[in-house]
Amino acid sequence: MLELKQQATTDSLTGLTNRRALEDDQPSGAYALLSFDIDFFKRINDSFGHAAGDQVLKKVAAVMTKAVREGDAVYRLGGEEFLVVLPQIDPAMALGIGERIRSQVKVLDLQGLAPDGGVTISAGLFVADPDQPLPFDAALAMADGALYLSKEQGRDRLTVA
């Protein structure tokens, strides 16, 4: 039974936990959400094929996993969308982790897998105020809104909600 649950909550491509797992893992108190999206990912699949796109997803997931603290959680929500949940964190540290992920993805060597041999990511950060709690769905919507502002403002950036 435990193995079935693990299969249901793990992204088979990247090994990250998936959106279904997020339903059971919602944080509370002082936490932050980093919403990420690989910029122009469709171009990778269109130009280099889905196998190349899959390799890019795996490499980006590996960067995210290595860049976070023990106890943080990285999720693949679907397609090229990722979420990082940072429990018990202050805004400055959350921003630092988000920028570290963004800058490390930008320097990934993806020759033969992506145009110009690399990719960028856009990000949105929401930091929860434990004194004014929001429902998790609202917090996620705030992080996503900041992500879309990053895209509108030119991509390859992190915007704070």
Q: Which domain holds residue 75?
A: 17-160
Set 3, 23, 70, 80: catalytic member: 80
Residue among 6, 42, 37 at smallest CA distance from 122 = 37
Residue 8 lies in a domain: no
| C-alpha dihedral sign at 92, 93, 96, 102 | negative
pLDDT (tens, 9 = 90+) of the chain, 161 residues, equals 556 656 678 999 999 999 888 887 788 888 999 999 999 999 999 999 999 999 999 999 999 999 999 999 999 999 999 999 999 999 999 999 999 999 999 999 999 999 999 999 999 999 999 899 899 999 999 999 999 999 999 999 999 99
For residue 75, the cross-strand partners are 17, 83
Residue 25 lies in a domain: yes
Residue 7 lies in a domain: no
Q: In this structure, are residues 4 and 49 in contact, taking their beta carbons and an 8 Å threshold?
A: no
Residue 124 lies in a domain: yes
Distance CA 156, CA 56 (A): 16
Q: What letter represents residue 52's amino acid?
A: A
pLDDT tens profile 71-94: 999 999 999 999 999 999 999 999
Cα dihedral: 126, 129, 134, 136 (round 10): 50
Q: What is the pTM of this model?
A: 0.94
Structural domains counted in the chain:
1
Residue 134 lies in a domain: yes
Residue 88 lies in a domain: yes
Residue 35 lies in a domain: yes
Residue 94 lies in a domain: yes
For residue 80, indicate whether it is catalytic: yes
CATH classification at residue 138 = 3.30.70.270
Cα separations in angstroms, 23 against 9, 17, 20, 148 = 10, 11, 6, 23
Q: What letter represents residue 150's amino acid?
A: S
CA atoms within 13 A on the CB side of 113: 17
